[in-house]
Amino acid sequence: MDTSELSFVRCPLCKGELVIVSNSNCADDLAEKHYQCVKCQQYYPIEKGVARFIEEKDIIKFSPRMNFFRNIYARIYSPATRLMFLPCGGENFARHEVLDRLEIAPGDAILETGIGHGDNLPYLKALYGNGLYVGLDNQQPMIDACRLNLKKWNLPAVLHLANAEELPYRDNFFDVVFHLGAFNLFRRKKQAMEEMIRVSKPGSLIVIADETEKATKLYGLILGKQEPVVLPLKMVPDSMLETRLEIIWKGYGYVLSFRKPLS
């Protein structure tokens, strides 16, 4: 955990500024330190350098069948994702079909709102250079695996355990905000989208990509019946510019992009 995080992290509940306090001020003895909100006084533990901005009750719940497969999937996330990308044209093609749309410049501050094991970082590192990469996920196994991958790849990034529907960041901070995969699982998709807009700098392009109904029907053969996919185009606020939805991944995915106005 770098103290420079204080320049952009905020309380996800009230958006108040945070300060660092020792664990003697809070009951969670497992944490090394804590963030505390100066406005609402809420504590957020910091464990192994990762701040936890989410409570157990806020984690998305699944059926026992889905939980079984997701627990397995979390352990084999990267190879499983490569397998799932096969009908989309392969992992390299599928990731580039989304990531090439990002408007990244050297030194940019980038936010990925569902980082998983961090598999997008090697594709993007050459673009943002010495910039800031922030990734969050609402599943602890994903954050743990991502931290190990970052160490293996020797890539720096700031990780947070948090919900995309309540981002723990200040307004108008990130040059690039994107989400690749699992947006369909969000309970409050419109709120997540509004949060992405809130933390983006004016003029930034926001990109969201996920599976179409065609993909969920295919995966449903293994995972069981899936919730119908509702393309999120109508959730984009009317005030956004250059709103565009395209079908990608040979019909198995979509990418939604829009630009935050300058004012």
pLDDT tens-digit series, residues 116-167: 999 999 999 989 888 999 999 999 999 999 999 999 999 999 999 999 999 9
Strand, coil or helix: what is 55?
coil
Strand, coil or helix: what is 182?
coil
The CATH code for residues 56-259 is 3.40.50.150
Q: Which helix (H) or strand (E) holds 205?
A: strand 205-211
The β-bridge partners of 33 are 22, 46
User: What pLDDT does 3 receive?
Assistant: 47
Compute the distance between CA of residue 86 and CA of residue 246 in angstroms, rounded to an integer. Answer: 19
pLDDT bracket for residue 84 (50, 70, 90): confident
With both helix axes pointing from N to C terminus, report the angle between 64-75 and 140-153 in degrees, rounded to the nearest 10: 10
- The answer to whether residue 236 scores a pLDDT higher than 60 is yes
Compute the distance between CA of residue 187 and CA of residue 192 in angstroms, rounded to an integer. Answer: 9
184-199 pLDDT, tens digit each: 888 899 999 999 999 9
> How high does pLDDT run on average in the chain?
88
CATH 3.40.50.150 domain range(s) in the chain? 56-259
Compute the distance between CA of residue 132 and CA of residue 258 in angstroms, rounded to an integer. Answer: 22
Mean pLDDT lowest among 15-29, 64-78, 237-251: 64-78
- The answer to whether residue 207 scores a pLDDT higher than 90 is yes
In 3D space, the residue among 139, 116, 115 whose CA is nearest the CA of residue 67 turns out to be 139
Question: How does strand 50-52 pair with strand 253-259?
Answer: unpaired
- The answer to whether residue 91 scores a pLDDT higher than 80 is yes
